[in-house]
Amino acid sequence: MLAFDRVDGLAWKQSDLGIDGVVLHRAGMGRIDGEGDQDPPGGWQPFSLQSDTGFTIGNDT
């Protein structure tokens, strides 16, 4: 997943979310929630990211 700002371009990159796909469920104030397929087929694992840094929240992937 890539995040861009309006001034400098690429703000952050998070590449460890899924091997075979990523689905975003929610993006809001300070947080992005979704699932990544870590062990295809069907190995979907939830993740939450800080929207300003791309760092994972909690013990998610």
pLDDT digits (tens, 9 = 90+) for 4-55: 999 999 999 999 899 999 999 999 999 999 999 998 888 999 999 999 999 9
What is the C-alpha to C-alpha distance for residues 37 and 18, in angstroms, rounded to an integer? Answer: 5
Give this prediction's pTM.
0.82
Name the nearest CA neighbour of 26 among 56, 48, 59. 48
Q: Rounded distance, CA 58 to CA 44, Å?
A: 17
Domains of the chain by residue range: 19-60
